[in-house]
Amino acid sequence: MRIVVPRQPTARLSDAWRHCVGTGRLDLALRRDYQESLDLVQREIGFRHIRGHGLLSDGMGVHRPYDYAGERRVRHAFTYVDQVVDAYLSMGIAPFLELGFMPSGLASGDDTVFWWKGNVTPPRDEKEWADLVRAVIGHLVDRYGIDQVRRWPIEVWNEPNLAPFWPAGQDAYHRLYEVTSLAVKEVDAELQVGGPSLAPGYEDEWIQCFAEFVEARDLPIDFVSRHAYSSGPVQPVPFGAHQTLMPASALLEQFGAPRQQLAGTGLADLPLHITEFNSSYRPDNPVHDTAFHAAYLAPVLANGGDLADSFSYWTFSDVFEEVGIPTAPFHGGFGLLTHRQIRKPTYHLYTFMAEMGEQVLARGEDHLVTRHGDGRVTVLAWSPADPAGGDPVDGHTVRLSLPVGAPDAQGSAYARRRSVSEDAGNPWAAWCEMGRPLAPGNRQLDALREAAEPARSHRSVPVAGGRADVDLVLGRNEVTLLELTPVVDETPEWWSDDRLFGLGGEDADASVNRP
């Protein structure tokens, strides 16, 4: 059955998918490979904000206690902060600030998380913590200007509902939020502060109690945040993890949950930011590297903006070390890019989204159709991706009647198509075929980058009555981008394909040859 796509737009396409992207801890941004990767992402996709852990951890060197004249004092140092933020802004991306983790010189305990040992305990001195928050935010305002910093959301901590990130419990987080949010607003009342940055799996009561606390204490809050993942329990293997997956719709359900849970509270209508999302929450799950992953997440990118003001892919790059230094170029990392800038299939899903138009013409379970202001029509289509492990669908077909040009237009459209699938734009498959080399040589890296290129094709499509009929036959786990541009035919009237090899008769070119 052919789907007749309406001519009139039904909505504007949300760009919530590009509002923010995740990163490993912030001091990784000092590395060359990291900056080269982010520069590539910004040129080809263009995110507005970037969020990562560790702004206040020891690796950034901000909180520097010392003793002088028998008195404990603190120096706030911004050497690395400035280098990181300068690098971000030079590439057209601004911080989405996460205030954490605890500097060891201010921590009340020794509990840490990750290979790099971020301290997750409350401050032993709330006044010193508030001074630290004011100093960091105030420095950013002084260096980059209040108008700019007011556009940078400031999130209080990370996943406090999980003991590995906050063993002190919910009441202690409420107190941390109170002290922190008030300190932020002391710098400037119009700065955006929010939370509670919850991990999936929390009971409704967690976020509802947070809302009650904020309202009862009349605390500042400018947005609500949570995270979304769709994976099950970990099945560990050496240097990796495997997990079951829920349907992709589970991610969309998580995106929409806070507004339902906060209905009737003063937080109900606040902007909602999903400050982390992915399939697996493990940075060593090979599903992240596959063509399946792009097809699985396509409906999330196509529809997530209806449910949240932003949803931040975790993360842009495999320059990431939560469970240690990666041991292979494909190790199941979160990133859209591997080390050394090999584009994964999900990277191309994002570049395809970056080329969609602003007018939504149609959406379905396997497609999104948009139109640009200049008349180009773009179609994002994807194969069904079964997280239950069923055989990939080969030959799934999306049949569309697309409006092209004026309602009575006749002629043709130029059809440009790019695709990633099991057989195209799949460097992980090429790496497997190479024997999974742990340290590929330069020729192998070149081959992997070549394998990461999408399949490309072009053709002419007839237009009759302002419509073009297209049948998109999709391969296994394919995501495809089709762009139709109305053709203005400028072919000379004397042109004939027969003449290409000098086969045209005298009558055909007599008028051209006469003086």
* Residues forming the active site: 159
Give alpha helix (H) positions in 6-158: 32-44, 79-90, 126-144, 146-149
Of 197, 126, 192, nearest to 161 (Cα)? 197
- Helix crossing, 345-353 with 291-303: angle to 10°? 30
User: For residues 311 and 304, what is the distance between their CA atoms, to the nearest angstrom?
Assistant: 7
Contact indicator for 454, 420 with CB cutoff of 8 Å: yes
Non-local CB neighbours of 467 within 8 Å, separated by 6+ positions: 401, 402, 403, 404
What b/e sequence results for 139-163 when a residue is b if at least 16 CB atoms lie within 10 Å of its CB, and e otherwise? bbbeebeeeebeebbbbbbbbbbbe
- Helix crossing, 170-187 with 126-144: angle to 10°? 40
Q: Which residues in 199-249 belong to E strands, given as ranges?
A: 223-229, 235-237, 240-242
Provide the residue count of the chain: 515
Residue with tokens 């329990």, as numbered in its chain = 233
Q: Round the CA-based radius of gyration of the chain to a whole number and report it.
A: 26
CA 475 to chain CA mean position, Å: 24
- The torsion angle over the Cα atoms of residues 353, 354, 359 and 365, rounded to 10 degrees, is 0
User: For residues 252 and 339, what is the distance between their CA atoms, to the nearest angstrom?
Assistant: 29
Strand pairing of 112-113 and 97-99? unpaired
Burial (Cβ within 10 Å: 0-12, 13-18, ≥19) of residue 447? middle
